Structure 1
Amino acid sequence: MHNAEAKIKRIVIVGGGTAGWLAANHLAADVSEDVVITLVESPSIPTIGVGEGTVPVIVDSLKKFGIHESDMFRLCDATFKNGIHFVGWNKPVNGQPHCYFHPFDDPNVNGVNLLPYWLHQLPGARERFDQSVSIQTHIALENRAPKLITNAEYERLINYAFHLDAGKFSALLAKHAIDNRQVKYIQDDVESVELALDGSISGLQLKQGPLLEGDLFIDCSGFQSLLLGKALNTPFIDKSDVLFANHAVVTQVPYEREQEVPPYTISTAQQAGWIWDIGLQTRKGVGHVYSDQFTSHEQAHRDLSAYLGRSEDVVESRLIKMQVGYRAQAWVKNCIGIGLSQGFVEPLEATGLLVFDLAARMLSKRLPEQREDMPAIAQQFNQHMSHTWQSIVDFIKLHYCISNRDDSEFWRMNRALETIPDSLQHKLALWRSDIPNEYDFVSSLDVFRLENHLYVLYGMNYPSRCKYPSPQKVSQQEGMINLVSQQQQKAVAMLETHSKLVAKAARYGFQRI
């Protein structure tokens, strides 16, 4: 018989922002009605608020919460995201900036892998890999939306994600959790963390209120990691020797006139980092991610201003310092870190929101009912999160270390073997001798899988050896390439421009499920 006193009935989340409210919504959707969820948020500490790009898994989460897709466009300044357009990550080609697209659709067409055929075409005669195999690349670069106004909410013709205003998105998540999921909300500062004799957290002493007691605590307090880092002294695994970018200067640029908003993120490489460019309905969010080991904050601001075509005196930017790495354990005693308190690497592939959402989803699906259940669940959670972080670090590093750029110390150091993890070196050796296959990604926790790696590797022209296809397969694959081209043209003709659909979605909404 279980001890009623050992049941987990009170969950306390420290910190709001996207991470905190994602956690609140995931937990509230899955816990039993007798569990009380309380979120306490400081009124004096602002959230970073620059996580404006998402990946398609966010669609599943919003659908699970019961948040209407139409409200994303009405309330969060949202636009659609078909993928990421990378510019300048390799040396220029024939005087033009090198570029490639990382879409969300599968490069294997009708189950046929077209990469061998593509590799054996003459390099000068072939289209880019993504343009050859992806319908989504084509519709994105033609400024088309990924669905129609006649589609129901979250109905997909093709995988998509959102660009959104992070502050407005947090507010939408908060309102939904409080109004529809009965999450209790307290605005107050945490003055101290009370520990029990066994080292677990027993309560939080608030500045204005009484001791806030709980059975399970979720740390969403950002980089300060108030519970997991400070109170429980959980070590931090620094990855700044692998991923050098540790700062960002960010700005918001209102549109001066009506314009077509790209349905994709633009990522433009710089001398010591890269610049993101995300178009929302009423403004752009632009940020220069860089390493202060290879450039100064002042130069980063100048580079951001130059990208915008404006004087550095006119551009107002905000400096963000990033801790690159993750906690050795995401779950310690009765405390779980979610969000920046657990870990962070640069937002190159929208990794921030992706990991926040994954961790919250994983916790909600394996939430312990009793305190005695915690050690086994915590052990599994920690193993899973460690694997996830390691695979993400490898994938982000991949973008840098296979570049042929050698025009600055930043790019040269990114290619130096001593900065490339052994696990990634092993994969790159495999993929030099043969093309990647699905057995290279056996864990469901590899959030970036075969299709993601194919788009990056061959967008960057990675030199893989490949067995030459038989004449029969060459003919079959050539037919598939032609089929993709026909489907690309049909999709462009069927889909309307991105800005038109976003305007309709904001005004009329999609059909409710």
Structure 2
Amino acid sequence: MQVIQRIVIVGGGTAGWLTAGVIAARHRGRMPHGFEVTLVESPNVPIIGVGEGTWPTLRTTLRRIGVSETDFFRHCDAAFKQGARFNRWTTGADDDGYYHPLMLPQGFAQVNMVPHWLADGDGSFCDTVTPQGRLCDAGLAPKTIATPEYEALANYAYHLDAGKFSAFLQRHCCETLGVRHILADVTEVRMTESGDVAALETEQGPVIEGDLFVDCTGFRALLIGDAMQVPFRPCGDTLFCDTALAVQVPYADPADPVVCHTISTAQSAGWIWDIGLPTRRGIGHVFSSSHISADEAERELRAYIGPAADGLTVRRIPIRSGHRETFWKGNVVAVGLAAGFLEPLEASAIVLVELSAKMIAEQLPPNRAVMDVLARRYNATTHYRWGRIIDFLKLHYALTRRDDSDFWRDNRQPETIPGRLLDLMELWKFQPPWLHDEFDRAEEVFPAASYQYVLYGMGHQTRTPQGEGATDAELARRARRETEVQTARLMAGLPRHRELLDKIAQHGMQPI
């Protein structure tokens, strides 16, 4: 009946410090009674810092741990993100593009707009059901300087500098939330007879004991991989991209516009991300080394950037797509890259950290006796989440009609598509996704709306029965009118993205 009081997080970076912050904030009232959160990280191992895109969930997470949104923007080189635009994914033509916005389709809980949009055949699906694509086209922000912190006129997430974000979280965790920070290199993991981790020995001297250990050691997976011997389950046969080339591109003029969405542009054997921050752009090429050489991939990246790429250093990042067979074993739970990694096509890395940290904090076992019960629940939920993310990423490739390279042709082969996704794609030929038809679990990471945006952005055809939607035709007409009214109102009232970022830096946002 050992009480779980000492939480030890091994590894810093975004995963470590977000996890520390979420757990410490949730259990802060227990700290005077012996509860403690300790984060130990090596002073000699650099942070990988992958991922500059986030989900709207991060607003809730930052608010919950007590972070000022103004401070976050000022210290993390942050910008707003209203979704992603996918260019050249469907046909490869220059005018081939669609949005996956962050706003739900208008009236989503009352009416499925897909049959009505298919019947009308007018405009893009995104523009028919939400104003967000047009806001992105116009370079507008999702709120005004008068909108309070974390509130939105159009739903938003963030783009950020991952290195600055980690340092910002570290200060907040240590100075505000009472997290104990130890800089030390772990040299040995002491185990109990029952197979739990008992303590960590370090090169610098301290022996760090704990009741629950969170492995945030990145690809090294010091605890979940080395100590607990949990195998890695690869998914490279489904998601082919195994390398990323990343580069930071300064603006030609500090006053240049900042794009308010992620741009993902398909290439011959992968795709290029383009993320706008206030001081620079983060650009990278994710590709399959089985279909293109690194030198050729870098040439495609530099051609995309243009003359601004001259003299810039490109960093190579390996991608080993997949995840651990078990995420929580004994008294060790893996979070972040130690748990697994997938290509950053839909910015799933940080949200998986958030969801994992939240579940650990909310279901923290009161004692060792019930830890295995909670671990089984955690593993079931986390396996489901990883599986659905793999499905959703593969959907982008499975729907392509590109036939200009082996990479795109190979991605359409049925044997590379997960069975669940194949079944859904067959169903969606006759029935559009909506609400809880196929997405009926609280752990869904991508709702039916996300599938609608990708399916119908990429020209998927659903042959609904004649007369389908007739009973809710008036609801659909109202939803479409409301989209038009909302679009006009927001287009007239929202500032340019750069303008709002400058005002936040100078004046700050209204605190809640």
Give the letter aligned to residue 487 of structure 1: Q
Distance in 2 of aligned mates of 1:451 and 1:173: 32
Deviates more, 1:265-274 or 1:27-36: 27-36
Q: Give the equivalent residue in structure 1 for 2:346.
A: 349
Does 1:113 pair with 2:109? no
Shift of 1:194: 1.1
Q: Give the equivalent residue in structure 2 for 1:175.
A: 171
Give runs of aligned pairs for residues 210-359 of structure 1, distance below 5 A: 210-257=206-253, 258-310=255-307, 314-359=311-356
Deviates more, 1:134-143 or 1:60-69: 134-143
Does 1:16 pair with 2:18? no
Shift of 1:80: 0.4
Q: Is contact 2:328-2:379 (8 Å) kept? A: yes
Does 1:152 pair with 2:148? yes
Shift of 1:178: 0.2
Give the letter aligned to residue 494 of structure 1: G
Say which SS state the counterpart of residue 310 (structure 1) adopts. helix
Shift of 1:314: 2.7
TM-score by length of 2: 0.96
Q: Is contact 2:249-2:309 (8 Å) kept? A: no
Q: Is contact 2:243-2:317 (8 Å) kept? A: yes
Distance in 1 of aligned mates of 2:204 and 2:479: 66
Q: Give the equivalent residue in structure 1 for 2:44.
A: 44
Q: Give the equivalent residue in structure 2 for 1:58.
A: 58
Q: Deviations along 1:89-131, whole A, 9 cap, x unmatched?
A: 0115xx6331000111111436332211111124xxx211111
Q: Is contact 1:250-1:318 (8 Å) kept? A: yes
Give the letter aligned to residue 466 of structure 1: T
Say which SS state the counterpart of residue 340 (structure 1) adopts. helix
Distance 1:470 1:504, change over 3 A: closer
Q: Is contact 2:434-2:449 (8 Å) kept? A: no
Give runs of aligned pairs for residues 393-432 of structure 1, distance below 5 A: 393-432=390-429
Does 1:448 pair with 2:446? yes
Q: Give the equivalent residue in structure 2 for 1:382.
A: 379
Distance 1:287 1:370, change over 3 A: same
Distance in 1 of aligned mates of 2:70 and 2:310: 39
Give runs of aligned pairs for residues 19-34 of structure 1, distance below 5 A: 19-31=15-27, 32-33=30-31, 34=34
Say which SS state the counterpart of residue 90 (structure 1) adopts. coil
Give the letter aligned to residue 481 of structure 2: N
Structure 1: 5+ residue stretches without partners = none
Identity %: 42
Distance in 2 of aligned mates of 1:500 and 1:313: 29
Distance in 1 of aligned mates of 2:474 and 2:511: 44
Q: Give the equivalent residue in structure 1 for 2:96.
A: 98
Shift of 1:507: 1.4
Shift of 1:85: 0.8
Q: Is contact 2:269-2:408 (8 Å) kept? A: yes
After the TM superposition, which parts of structure 1 deviate over 2 Å for at least 4 consecutive aligned residues?
108-113, 310-315, 467-483
Shift of 1:28: 0.1
Say which SS state the counterpart of residue 433 (structure 1) adopts. coil
Q: Deviations along 1:424-445, whole A, 9 cap, x unmatched?
A: 1111111112111222101111
Distance in 2 of aligned mates of 1:312 and 1:159: 33
Does 1:84 pair with 2:84? yes
Say which SS state the counterpart of residue 432 (structure 1) adopts. coil
CA-based RMSD of the aligned residues comes to: 1.4
Shift of 1:226: 0.6
Structure 2: 5+ residue stretches without partners = none
Shift of 1:480: 3.2
Distance in 1 of aligned mates of 2:208 and 2:138: 53
TM-score by length of 1: 0.96
Shift of 1:475: 5.6
Shift of 1:483: 3.2
Give the letter aligned to residue 451 of structure 2: H
Number of residue pairs matched by the alignment:
504
Q: Is contact 1:339-1:356 (8 Å) kept? A: yes
Q: Is contact 1:75-1:168 (8 Å) kept? A: yes
Q: Give the equivalent residue in structure 2 for 1:71.
A: 71
Q: Deviations along 1:450-502, whole A, 9 cap, x unmatched?
A: 11111011001111111334667446534532331232111110111111111
Give the letter aligned to residue 144 of structure 1: L
Distance 1:182 1:483, change over 3 A: closer
Q: Deviations along 1:395-442, whole A, 9 cap, x unmatched?
A: 100011011111111111110000001111111111112111222101
Distance in 2 of aligned mates of 1:340 and 1:234: 14
Q: Is contact 1:49-1:166 (8 Å) kept? A: yes
Does 1:206 pair with 2:205? no
Distance in 2 of aligned mates of 1:245 and 1:161: 25
Q: Is contact 1:74-1:507 (8 Å) kept? A: no
Give the letter aligned to residue 251 of structure 1: V
Shift of 1:135: 1.4
Distance in 2 of aligned mates of 1:171 and 1:285: 19
